[in-house]
Amino acid sequence: MARSEATISTSSDSVEPGVWAARLGALGPGILMASAAIGGSHLISSTQAGARFGWQLAFVVVLANLLKYPFFRFGPQCTMESGRSLVEGYAAKGRIYLWVFFALVSVSSVISTAGVGLLCAVILGFMLPASMSGSVATLATVMMASAWLLLIAGHYRALDTVTKVIILTLTVATVVATFMAASAGSARASDFVDPSPWTWATLPFLVAIMGWMPAPIEISALNSLWIRAKQEIRPSRLKDVLFDFNVGYVTSAVLALFFLALGALVQYGSGVEVASEGGAYVDQLLQMYGTAIGEWAVPLMSVIAFACMYGTVITVIDGYARACAESLRLLRGDSDFSKRSLNLWLTGIAALGLVIIVAMSASLAAMLTFAMISAFITAPVFAWLNFSLVRSQSSLTPTLRYLSYAGLAYLAGFAGLFVLNLAGVVGG
C-alpha cells in the first residue's frame, strides 16, 4: 500500500463526469463507518432506551450524534486536505500523540471486537434451528474464524461491497417495522407511570448509550484509513468523500432514532419487563419486529440482524488492525506496513477478542456495557487528538469550531461525572 501523498486526489480530473456518478463512486468508507456504528448501540441500547423510557432519551441520542459529529468529520477532511491519514497526522504532531493513540486503540480494538462479537454470536444462536445451535462459545469461534478468513482473503474490496447491502437491508426493514408499529398505536397502558431516566442509578445506562453513539470516536481514525484504501482503488474529490461520510453518519444517527422508536412503540409501558441479562433482550428485540410486521418476520429479522452484526465484526477487526499496523509502522519509521503486519494484527485482535467472548459468554449485558462505557471514558482523548490536527487550520469553519468546543466540554464533563459517581464522590 503506497503511502505517498500523491494517492489522494482532490481534483475533478480523476472523477467520472456527472455529480451523482462521482458521489456514488465515492461511497464506501462512510458506509463502512456506519456498519461499525450500527451494532450494540443501535440494536440493543437504542431499543432498550425506548423500551425503558419511551421518547425521553431521544434528545440524548440526537445530542450525542450532533456533538460527536465534528470529531468524526475531521477524519475525511484531514485525509483529503493533507494527503495523510489521521494516524499520520498524530505522528506529525509528535510521537507522544501517536503513542497515546496507539496505546488506547490497541486496548479498544480487543474490547470492541469482543463486545460486537459476543452480540453477533448470541444473535446467530437465535437465528439457527435448535438442532444446529451450539454454545455461544462454539458459535463465536465459528463466526470469528469465518470473519478472519474473509479479511485475510479479501480485505477492503470484499468489505466495501458487502456492507452496502447489509446496511440498506437493515435500514429498510427497521423503517418499515417502525411505521407499522406506529400505525398500530403505542402499547403503553393507560395507567402506566413514566419512570424518570434522570437519576444517579441510570447514569451508567446513559453513559453506555453515549459511548457507542454513533460509534467510538477512534472509528474516525479507522475511517481515514479506509478512505486511503478507497482512494488507491478509485480517487475522488473532497466534496464527494464528505458526501460519503455524511451519508454514513446521518444514516447511523437516523437509524438509532428508529430503533428507539421501535422500543417506545412496541414495548414501553406494555407491562413486559425489559430484559437486561444474557442474550434475553435479543429475543425481545426480534419479537418487536414480529409484533410490528408479523410473526413471519422474526426469522427474517434474525438473519438481517446477524448480517448487520457480522458486518460490524468484520469492519471493526479490519479497521482496528489497520490503525494498529499503521501506528506501529510510524513508530518504527517504516515506509509502509506490510500485508504480513496487517494479517498479524487481524489475527491477534480476532484471537484475543474470541478469548474474551468465551470467558464472558454468559454475560452479554455486562460485556456490552463495559465496552460502551470504556469507549465513552476514552472519547475525550480521541476527540482532542482529532481537534488538535485542525484547530489552527483556516478550513475549520466557525460552526465546526464552536461545535468542537461544545463536544469536548460535553464528553469531558460527562466522563468526569461518571468517574466521580463511580468513586462515590457524587450521587451516592
Tens-place pLDDT, residues 239-266: 888 888 888 898 889 999 998 998 898 8
Domain containing 284: what range? 17-422
**Cis bond before residue 29 (omega within 30° of 0):** no
SS3 (DSSP) at 199: coil
* Of 349, 98, 87, 400, the residue nearest 223 (C-alpha): 87
**41 is a domain residue:** yes
pLDDT digit string, tens, across residues 118-147: 888 888 888 887 656 678 888 999 999 999
CATH classification at residue 283: 1.20.1740.10
User: In degrees to the nearest 10, what's the CA dihedral of 70, 73, 79, 82?
Assistant: -40
Average pLDDT over residues 54-63: 93
* Distance of alpha carbon 63 from alpha carbon 180, whole angstroms: 27
Q: Which residue has the higher pLDDT, 216 or 275?
A: 216
Residue 181 lies in a domain: yes
In a domain, 5, yes or no: no
CA atoms within a 13 Å half-sphere pointing along the CA-CB vector of 26: 31
* SS3 assignment for 310-325: HHHHHHHHHHHHHHHH
Look at 52-61, 152-161, 261-270 and tell me which has the smallest mean pLDDT. 152-161
354's CB contacts (< 8 A; 6+ apart) are 114, 117, 140, 141, 144
How many DSSP H helices and E strands does the chain contain?
A: 17, 0
Confirm whether 12 is domain-assigned: no
**Would 6 be classed as within a structural domain?**
no
Least trusted range by pLDDT, from 48-57, 232-241, 408-417? 232-241
Question: Looking at residues 99-125, what average pLDDT do you find?
Answer: 90
> Is residue 63 domain-resident?
yes
User: Do residues 270 and 57 lie in contact, with contact meaning Cβ atoms separated by under 8 Å?
Assistant: no
In a domain, 79, yes or no: yes
- Residue position matching grid coordinates 452479554: 364
Tell me the average pLDDT of the chain: 83
Q: Is 428 inside any structural domain?
A: no
| Ranges of H-type helices in 201-296 | 203-211, 219-233, 238-266, 280-293
- Tell me the pTM: 0.85
Tally the domains of the chain. 1
Assign 4 a pLDDT band (cuts: 50, 70, 90).
Answer: very low
Q: How far apart are the first and last CA of the chain?
A: 53
